[in-house]
Chains A and B, each alone.
Chain A
Amino acid sequence: MSGSAPVTRVLAIDDSEDIHAILRARLEREGLVLESAASGAEGLAAVLADPPALILLDLGLPGMDGFEVLRHLKDNDRTHSIPVIVLSGSDDAKDKVRGLDMGAVDYVCKPFDHYELSARLRVALRTQRLLEMLARRAQIDGLTGLWNREHFDARLADALATSARHGAPLALAYGDLDHFKSVNDTYGHSAGDAVLEGFADILLGELREADVAFRLGGEEFALLLPDTTVEESIAVLERIRASLAGVCWPRHPDRAITCSFGVADRGVGGSWEPSAWMEAADKALYAAKNAGRDRVMIAHGEEIEPAPC
C-alpha cells in the first residue's frame, strides 16, 4: 500500500469461489479491494469487524440465506447504511422486488456483465457519498460550521454513555453572547453574523482536541468537554472569554463583545439524569446573566457559584 488514496473495500458474500475470483479480478481494475465471505454468518461477522464501503450479496447461500443477511444488516444501526447490491442467480422479479424493498440499493443477476456491474457499483458508491454528505450537512450549522442542535442531542447521549462507562468526568457548558440583540439592532444583521462566525472561530481555536462546540441557535452555544471537571473547564472558558475580549470587530471597533457561561459536570459517581445535568448548566448560565453577564458561573449540584478567579 502506498498509503496515498484511501482504499475502497467491497465485501462479497457468496458461496461460489468462482464468483469471488471473477469479482476480485474485475474490481481490482476499478481500484476496489475485494474481500470475500462464503456464508451469511461469516459475512455479518466481517461487516461488524470492519465495515466495508459496499456489500455484494448473494441470495442462495447455505444456512442463512441472503434475505436474512440483508435483514440483519438493515436491523443493525452499525450496518444499516452500508449500501448492498444483491448479486443473485435468480432473475425472478419477486426476488428483485423483495431485495430492493428490504433495503438493497440495486440487484444484478448472475452471470453478470462486468462492465454493467462496475457501473452499478460506481453509481452506488457515488450515491452513498452524497447521502453521507447530506447527513453531515443536516447536523452542521450553516453560518458557523459548528455542529447544530440535532447533533448536540445525539452527541450528548454518546458522551454521557462513554463518561459513565469509564467513570470519567464530563463538563457541559452553555455560552450566550451578551446583548447580542443590540449588536444586530445597532449594526445590522450582517455585523451580528460576523460576531457569531468570529466567536465560532475563537471556540475552535481555544478548545482542546476532544472538546466539541455546538451552536444551539441564535447566540446560544454549547460545549461538551470530555474528561473534564467543572474546575478544569474554567481554564478553558476563561481562555475563550479572554480571546473574545481581545477582538477588535471591524464593523464596530468601539463595541467589544462578551459572553456569559454556565457550566456543570456530570457529577462523577453521582446519579444525575441528563436532564438534571443540562438544567444545572442552564441555571448557572442564567445566574451568570443575572449577576451582570461577562462571567462564568458553575453549578455544584444544586449550588450555583461564581468561578474562582
Chain B
Amino acid sequence: MHQPDTRPHALRNGGELRSTLADDPDMRELVGQFVESLGKRVTLLESLLLGGETAELRRAAHQLKGAGGGYGFDPISAAAGALERSVDAGASHEELRASMDELASLCRRASV
C-alpha cells in the first residue's frame, strides 16, 4: 500500500513526480493515459480560471482531486483539493492563481 507523500519540499524542486502505482500491473496502462491527459486538463483549468467560470473550475478541480490519488498521485489530489477549497472560500483571483500554479506545476512534472 502506498504512503502519503511526506516530502512536499522535494516536490517543489522541479524533479519528476512519479506515480506510486508505476509498478502496479493493474494500473500501469491507466496511469500512462492519465499522465498523457494532464496537459489538456491543465489547459482546461487555466481557461476556466481565465474566463472566470468558477463553478466549472471547482467541478474540474473536484474531479481531479477525486481521481489523482487513484492514479498514484496523492500530491495532485491534494493540490486540486486546495484549489477547490479556494473556490469555495471565495478566494481572490491572485489566490486562485497561486493554487492553480501549484497544481499545474505538479501536473507538468507527473510521470509514470
Contacts and interface: CB of A to CB of B under 8 A. Distances in A.
Contact of A115 (B1, B30, B59, B67): B1
Interface of A (DSSP majority class):
helix
Q: Most chain-A Cβ atoms within 10 A of its Cβ — which of B27, B67, B71, B74?
A: B67
A19 interface: yes
B77 interface: yes
Nearest to A109: B66
B26 A110 contact: no
A114 interface: yes
B63 interface: yes
Contacts of B67: 16, 18-19, 22, 110-111
Interface in B60-112: 62-63, 65-71, 74, 77
A89 B34 CA distance: 19
Contacts of B30: 21-22, 25
A26 B74 CA distance: 17
B56 to A, nearest CB: 11
Interface in A6-55: 15-16, 18-19, 21-22, 25-26, 28-29
A111 B26 contact: no
Contacts of A114: 70
A60 interface: yes
Question: Binding site of B, secondary structure by majority: helix, strand, loop or mixed?
Answer: helix
Contact size range, B: 10 to 19
Contacts of A19: 66-67, 70
B66 A89 contact: yes
A50 to B, nearest CB: 26
Contacts of A28: 26
Interface string A104-115: 000000111111
Given A25-B26, A29-B26, A111-B77, A18 B65 contact: no
Interface string B25-52: 0110010011000000000000000000
User: Which among A60, A111, A115 has the highest number of chain B CB atoms within 10 Å?
Assistant: A111
B57 to A, nearest CB: 14
Nearest to A23: B70
Contact of B65 (A21, A26, A89): A89
| Residue among A15, A114, A115 with max Cβ neighbours from chain B (10 Å) | A114
13 contacts: A18-B66, A18-B67, A18-B71, A19-B66, A22-B67, A25-B27, A25-B30, A26-B26, A60-B59, A89-B65, A110-B69, A111-B68, A111-B69
Nearest 7 A/B pairs, CB to CB: A111-B69, A18-B67, A110-B66, A22-B70, A89-B66, A111-B77, A16-B63
